[in-house]
Chain A
């Protein structure tokens, strides 16, 4: 006479009677650790159990880096044109419009000026949620103007990359953003103003092959995917599986392309120490 025995097997609640658990309260890391969003936030979006760095955007990075989350955004209203009248399965302007309303972002990068532990800093940060963080004219122009601001005011420049590469829908224009950003960085370098490039998960393609790799200091978050060609393309080219950890931050450090890997929880302190040393 077990009163707790189930008489019917399975879940029989009809869909319309199911109760929704509120979304976004808990986060599950790839290794299966579950953490409350509030705790994650207070940990700079790093899971304390497995050090997993959750993909975050410009809003979060600005909050982490700038004192009291105070900053001035530059070129906040800049959006994409459609110089090629590009249509694939969708017209480019409608893709942009949809993405803007979905993400509440204007494009895949934002630039802000503010203070980090009292030091002036210009930061351009990419947003992966905007068409895979792809680099088109807006991203290139925002970076270029961010660098110009650094040059004019002699303030160090920090670039936070998170991108699948150049944006196909702006074709030739996207390609030339690699040139444009590199040109501005050449000038910044001549002026001896520090440039720190922080690569986060993922940083690939034309972004890696231009500004991301041109830092006076090239640094990365742990276990980020960083490379020129994507893993799938390389696998198809060589016809073999890729070794474990290939194109990870640790792999790049080992091969001499990074100065160091930084845990996001130490990012602000470490950047401040570094910038103070070279002041």
Chain B
């Protein structure tokens, strides 16, 4: 599954592969041509991926091959024990979590999980958690706090699930409670948007001492599609909506609504998911170390002050 702007690159890469096989078969020296083509590919990649529109980044954030929460967790941790259930009604499979070991440090990982194929997507409810998912997340955070382990949340959701049972079981209350409780957690909390960060469904696990976004992700109050349908009364203005919402990692950092951007491999996280995971691991460990230098009270104060300063008003 290629995105529109990935196609010219893929075409050239196919050509390069052909050239190499041909050279092998016919014993002709094409190293010059290969080198030229490789350079051309690299230039095209840089041109394409350094000039992505906001909508193109949204597309990348939803790329079919993009690594999901559990992909990163299994790549980063030496041991991972998944923990299930909210102890109230269910185990929400759109929200996963558990303790993992990273270079001798135990970390509580929590995140929304999307599915790779139709069956998985259904099981994971497309990464849209129910109230049970948010309550499970909070239960695991409290568990981490009890055993004094830092928390890392990985955010990747098109939104909290807007269903009948979700309302009956209090979707709004579940998210609201997480927001309030996360401010008071005594352990370090790092939040990383790894794909889609849609509105309250994302924020429900995204109150942290440090909030990062991967380079090709989005985080806003609404998806470009829904924004288009409400403000333009048509689904056709998603590109304009994406521009207007200023929802990319660069935008959000520029507005000081997130603390930093984690660079992706050229072409996106899916091109080299191992390298992406390695970078993620580096950022996580470095930040945990820094945050552990602060007292729990200072961390809480700074967390509250950071979010309290967000907003632009005229007086």
Question: A249: CB under 8 A from chain B?
Answer: no
Distance of A182 from chain B, by nearest CB (Å): 4
B180 and A172 contact, CB distance less than 8 A: no
Interface residues of B in 120-179 (CB under 8 A from A): 160-164, 166-173, 175-177, 179
Interface residues of A in 73-90 (CB under 8 A from B): 75, 77-81, 83-84, 86-89
Question: A137: CB under 8 A from chain B?
Answer: yes
Distance of B121 from chain A, by nearest CB (Å): 15
Binds B, one of A114-122, A209-217, A261-269: A209-217
B172 and A137 contact, CB distance less than 8 A: no
Bound CA span A187–B308, Å: 12
Contact with B308, one of A183, A190, A234, A242 (Cβ below 8 angstroms) = A183
Binds B, one of A29-37, A46-54, A173-181: A173-181
Residues of A bordering B, CB below 8 Å: 75, 77-81, 83-84, 86-89, 137-138, 140-141, 144, 166-168, 170-180, 182-187, 189-190, 205-206, 208-214, 227-229, 233-234, 237-238, 240, 242, 246-247, 255-257
Residues of A within 8 A of B315 (CB): 75, 77-79
What 0/1 readout, one digit per residue, does chain B (273-310) give for beta carbons within 8 Å of chain A? 00000000000000000000000000000011001101
A213 and B173 contact, CB distance less than 8 A: yes
A177 and B311 contact, CB distance less than 8 A: yes
Distance of A216 from chain B, by nearest CB (Å): 12
When A172-B220, A176-B307 are in contact, do A138 and B180 touch as well, CB less than 8 Å? no
When A183-B307, A185-B180, A229-B162 are in contact, do A208 and B207 touch as well, CB less than 8 Å? no
A180 and B310 contact, CB distance less than 8 A: yes
Residues of B within 8 A of A234 (CB): 162-164, 167
When A178-B200, A206-B200 are in contact, do A186 and B180 touch as well, CB less than 8 Å? yes
Q: Could you list 22 examples of A-B contacts with CB < 8 Å?
A: A78-B315, A80-B314, A89-B231, A137-B312, A138-B313, A172-B220, A172-B246, A175-B199, A176-B257, A182-B176, A185-B180, A208-B172, A208-B176, A209-B171, A209-B179, A210-B176, A213-B173, A227-B172, A228-B175, A233-B162, A234-B163, A237-B161
Bound CA span A238–B168, Å: 14
Residues of A within 8 A of B244 (CB): 84, 86-88, 171
The secondary-structure label for the interface of chain B is: helix
A238 and B177 contact, CB distance less than 8 A: no
B221 and A255 contact, CB distance less than 8 A: no
Residues of A within 8 A of B183 (CB): 182-183, 186
Bound CA span A4–B276, Å: 89
Knowing that A171-B245, A178-B179, A234-B163 touch, tell me 8 more A-B residue pairs with CB under 8 angstroms. A137-B313, A140-B311, A173-B257, A183-B180, A228-B200, A229-B171, A233-B162, A238-B164
Contact with B307, one of A87, A171, A180 (Cβ below 8 angstroms) = A180
Bound CA span A46–B173, Å: 28
Residues of A within 8 A of B239 (CB): none
Residues of B bordering A, CB below 8 Å: 160-164, 166-173, 175-177, 179-181, 183-184, 199-200, 203-204, 207, 219-222, 227, 230-232, 240-241, 244-247, 251-252, 255, 257, 303-304, 307-308, 310-315
When A174-B221, A175-B220, A182-B176 are in contact, do A141 and B257 touch as well, CB less than 8 Å? no
Contact with A172, one of B247, B303, B304 (Cβ below 8 angstroms) = B247
A183 and B247 contact, CB distance less than 8 A: no
B313 and A257 contact, CB distance less than 8 A: no
Bound CA span A180–B170, Å: 21
Q: Which residue of A lies closest to B159 (CB)?
A: A229
B313 and A228 contact, CB distance less than 8 A: no
When A186-B183, A214-B180, A229-B162 are in contact, do A257 and B314 touch as well, CB less than 8 Å? no
Residues of A within 8 A of B184 (CB): 186, 190
Scoring A79, A140, A209 by chain B CB atoms within 10 A of each residue's CB, the highest score goes to: A209
B304 and A186 contact, CB distance less than 8 A: yes
